Amino acid sequence: MGLSKKGWLEYEVAEADAGLTVESIVREKLHVSGRMLQRLTRSKGVLLNRKPPFLKRVVKAGDKVAVRVQDQPGQDASPQQAAQRKQGKRVEAALPVEILYEDEHLLVANKPAGMMVHPVKQDQQGTLVHALAEYLREKGEPDRVHPVHRLDKETSGAILVGKTSYGHQLADRLLRDGSLHREYLAVVCGRLEEANGTISAPIGRDPRHPTRRKVTERGEEAVTHYELEAFSADTSLVRVWLETGRTHQIRVHFRHIGHPLAGDGMYGGRRDLLRRQALHASKLSFPHPITGQESVCEAPLPDDMNELIKREYNLANR
């Protein structure tokens, strides 16, 4: 299975696949979702031996099934993106974004603290989506950007992005089946008594605040694991990884056990330690959805958290 220069992914039917339908090959071997298959069918984006087939046609060994995996102009564009293209606008990145990993389908970026992932207003600029779209345009590639998960505005670190609709649905499958491993470094207030632990407490909206979350019996299941890396008289450095991905999960869970994140004013953290929540998405790993090869991306600590850690624990650069 390989990607052609024209943006098509091709699969040669093996002896064991003979008797399957074109649709089965596309869904099971090329990992195309039902929604994407419908879109490809309408745009002649599925080929059998270089010709558009009936999806129920049975294949034989040696047949070549191909799907278009590069987005066509205008495909899945948001109203904001469509307006920008129509008016010929270029949106410059407000902050530099480091690229930690990239291939034809996926990209991992190191988001700076203070940068939102998505625009929340039609005319908003300077988001990660804008920065990556500009990066891809500069390379002469389609500029549709599909973040797979979210990071809070003030959380820095690694985030997985689909470069195409196909890449996005592959990565989303990783997220849903638990193959995407997300690891964080956090500084929390107070000294943790246990060297490691698991926080399992459902999270829902706080009815008294429009954006805040809280632990509540009526919330969604949320599980956070942690290990203590270092401690001082007043704080603890923890490595955290997620089993679920609820909004503000790490922030809410550590507040719940009485150790809010340093700098996190929304959840009761000390503001004299850092001017934002001390949370950094330090590591992202996953088996590549096409090759199966393990990809490990590590995001270096930003200066503010690095200084905090050196100050509190006398540790060298991490």
d(CA 306, CA 290): 35
Query: At 165, phi and psi to the nearest 5?
Result: -60, -40
Q: For this structure, is 152 an active site residue?
A: yes
User: What are the C-alpha distances in Å from 169 to residues 47, 96, 125, 201?
Assistant: 20, 27, 25, 29
d(CA 133, CA 167): 15
Q: Of 33, 66, 24, 60, whose CA–CA distance to 48 is shortest? A: 66
Q: Of 176, 132, 130, 182, whose CA–CA distance to 157 is shortest? A: 182
Long-range pairs, 207-212, Cβ under 8 A, ≥24: 211/266, 212/248, 212/266, 212/267
Q: Which one from 17, 63, 152, 172 is the annotated catalytic residue?
A: 152
d(CA 252, CA 239): 16
* Active site positions, annotated: 152
